[in-house]
A and B are shown apart, each in its own frame.
Chain A
Amino acid sequence: MDHTDSARLSLISMWVGFIAFLAAAIMGVYQVLERSGLIPAIESPALYFASVSTHGVLMGFVLTTFLVVGFGYYTATTSLKQPVWNKPLAWFGFYICITGVLMAAVPLLTGQASVLYTFYPPLKAHPAFYIGATLLVAGSWVWCLEMVMMMTIWKRAHPGDTVPLAMYGTTANAIMWFITSLGVTLEAIFQLIPWSLGLIDTVDVGLARTLFSWTLHAIVYFWLFPAYIAMYTLLPKAAGGKLFSDQMGRVAFIMLLVFSIPIGFHHLYMDPFQAAGWKFLHMIGTFMVAVPTLITGFTIIASLEVAGRLRGGKGLFGWIAALPWSNPMVTAAGLGLLMLTLGGFGGMINASYSMNAMVHNTQWVTGHFHLIFAGTTVIMYFAIAYYLWPKMTGRRLYSNTLALTQLWLWFIGMLVLTLPWHYLGIAGQPRRISSTPYDPVLVQQWDASELAMIVGGLILMISALMLVYVLARTHGNSQQEASLAVEYAEPLHPVLRIPPLLNGLAFWTVLVVVYMVASYGYPILQFFLMETHGTVPWSI
């Protein structure tokens, strides 16, 4: 079937994401230079915090949302072999997102939303920032509806058939994102927007931070889902093998849907307004959510092992060398899994209730989330782009060599940037600072790490420029792509019959709602029951 209708929407969405990404990468270089204090002429806390806020919004909200949406539409149409449901509505959602981004950009770029891309009062931004961000989320809900409708329509047309794994994961992500984004949306509509407009004098900070934590952790999985979907459904074929287990992929997606949302209190370990017992329960949930990642790690590496052995790899680890490392998808996945392991180690420390006190609000945390997000997730976004651009444009990738170089530079730059940040965090350097006006003897010990940070930032910016260059030049490549079909990996053991629970998401959606009520019900309700010392918990 012809996928040109979804290709255009996907391509434009993903281009919006990558343009935001490039701007954010350039800002990142300014930030590491400013923060190092080596060039006094550029030191400006106001500019630094405006830049950090914009960098975070562009990377964490714009790149991700547009990439997830674009990849989702293309996955849906190519895996289900059916057109986009209600195409005008899909474009309407896209324009809502664009409107939201433009609206939020104005206060961000004029220093009126330097709230570090968070929704944590008492930091207050211009109302346009909160309204813009809410519109971005609302636009993405259209995509959620589209994905659910497309899977439902397909299931009705194919009774008893197994939903393709790529679409199963995409729909799980859409449902998860809708549920998790409700938290920050409620906070914005009932607290932040009325407060920033001056309709109310105060907000209950505890309630606001609790609502934001509802969104804050699972948003990471919203970003990560496309990376996992590509690893499960595109990587094994690109590596020359088969997917080790289709069912393991479904179990991992279900677990991400169920376990990733009700665990946000690990972001509030040091905050006083939730009791230790609730935080402990959320800590257990946090460690549970490592399970689908372990399942994914096992299934993907096993799939690569099959591919490597089919290519002649021998011995316990000989299959690794036999893999086609000249394929950007394989290289990105290999480097991404390495960064996931390192970032996962940092995550284990953050998630440990007691040890969190040692690294809380230090540069360690910045190092951790850059490794997981900017490392694993974003490098897989590159791989997705390198795979899909030829399919969507009909032109061959401009340069495979440049693409591979770009991926390796991203990996090297990310390690050079983030490993010193982990050290700095342990050494006591706070995060969210524009300079280090502390004890000179202490600060001097940080100099080498600060220099490494600059080198890492520069390498990453070069890599970002290379990505955009390769993608842009692909559009003008005179060589036609041989096959426009997206080749999804076949499972090692064909899926002949599958339990209904692994072929639908309704039961799991109900389960996550029950789990959410259990883990967030009373912690939110308490703000309406207790004395809040003059603050207004709910403004409307």
Chain B
Amino acid sequence: MSQLTPEEEDEILKSAPRGTFALLLLLAVLLLAGWAYMFFFMFIENGPVS
């Protein structure tokens, strides 16, 4: 367990969760890219029902 000063602790509690934003942005990009891959390269590429 890290020993933080009260000022450091206060700063953490007040700061924006930038790591969370970055992580979720990364996940969103991956999910959208995955969905696009499935749609354009797996679904559309199968062609119409014959």
Residues of A participating in the B interface, judged by any CB pair closer than 8 Å: 240, 242, 244, 294, 297-298, 301-302, 305-306, 308-312, 315-317, 319-320, 322, 341, 344-345, 348-349, 352, 354-355, 358, 426, 492
Q: Which residues of A contact B35 (CB under 8 A)?
A: 345, 348-349, 352
- Shortest CB–CB separation between residue B3 and chain A, in angstroms? 8
User: Which residues of chain B (1-50) have a CB below 8 Å from chain A?
Assistant: 1-2, 4, 9, 12-13, 15, 17-20, 22-24, 27, 31, 34-35, 38-39, 42-43, 46
The 3 closest A-B pairs by CB, nearest first: A312-B2, A302-B17, A302-B20
* Sample of 14 further A-B pairs with CB below 8 A, known A306-B12, A312-B1: A240-B1, A297-B24, A301-B17, A302-B17, A310-B4, A310-B9, A316-B19, A319-B19, A322-B2, A341-B27, A349-B35, A352-B39, A358-B43, A426-B42
- Shortest CB–CB separation between residue A362 and chain B, in angstroms? 12
Q: Which of A315, A322, A344, A348 has its CB near the most chain B CB atoms (within 10 A)?
A: A348
**Do B22 and A358 touch (CB < 8 A)?**
no
**Do A317 and B23 touch (CB < 8 A)?**
yes
Q: Given A297-B24, A352-B39, A358–B46 Cβ distance below 8 Å?
A: yes
Q: Which residues of A contact B9 (CB under 8 A)?
A: 310
- Shortest CB–CB separation between residue A504 and chain B, in angstroms? 29
Q: Is the interface of A mostly helix, strand, loop or mixed?
A: helix
- Shortest CB–CB separation between residue B18 and chain A, in angstroms? 7
**Do B20 and A305 touch (CB < 8 A)?**
yes
Assembled-state Cα–Cα distance A311/B4 (Å): 8
Q: Is the interface of B mostly helix, strand, loop or mixed?
A: helix
**Do B43 and A355 touch (CB < 8 A)?**
yes
Assembled-state Cα–Cα distance A59/B12 (Å): 41
Q: Which of A302, A315, A322, A344 has its CB near the most chain B CB atoms (within 10 A)?
A: A302
Q: Which residues of A contact B12 (CB under 8 A)?
A: 306, 309-310
Q: Which of B2, B12, B19, B46 has its CB near the most chain A CB atoms (within 10 A)?
A: B19
Assembled-state Cα–Cα distance A114/B15 (Å): 55
Q: Which residues of B contact A240 (CB under 8 A)?
A: 1
Assembled-state Cα–Cα distance A294/B9 (Å): 27
- Shortest CB–CB separation between residue A136 and chain B, in angstroms? 36
Q: Chain B residue with minimal CB distance to A297? A: B24
Q: Chain A residue with minimal CB distance to B34? A: A345
Q: Chain B residue with minimal CB distance to A312? A: B2
Q: Which of B9, B31, B46 has its CB near the most chain A CB atoms (within 10 A)?
A: B31
Assembled-state Cα–Cα distance A344/B24 (Å): 13
Assembled-state Cα–Cα distance A242/B17 (Å): 13
- Shortest CB–CB separation between residue B37 and chain A, in angstroms? 10
**Do B43 and A306 touch (CB < 8 A)?**
no
Q: Which residues of B contact A311 (CB under 8 A)?
A: 1-2
Q: Which residues of B contact A302 (CB under 8 A)?
A: 17, 20
Q: Chain A residue with minimal CB distance to B3? A: A312
Q: Which residues of A contact B13 (CB under 8 A)?
A: 242, 306, 492
Identify A316's interface contact among B4, B22, B24, B27, CB under 8 A. Answer: B22
- Shortest CB–CB separation between residue B39 and chain A, in angstroms? 6
Q: Which residues of A contact B42 (CB under 8 A)?
A: 358, 426
Assembled-state Cα–Cα distance A426/B37 (Å): 13
Assembled-state Cα–Cα distance A211/B15 (Å): 48
Identify B2's interface contact among A301, A310, A348, A352, CB under 8 A. Answer: A310
Q: Given A242-B13, A344-B31, A349–B38 Cβ distance below 8 Å?
A: yes
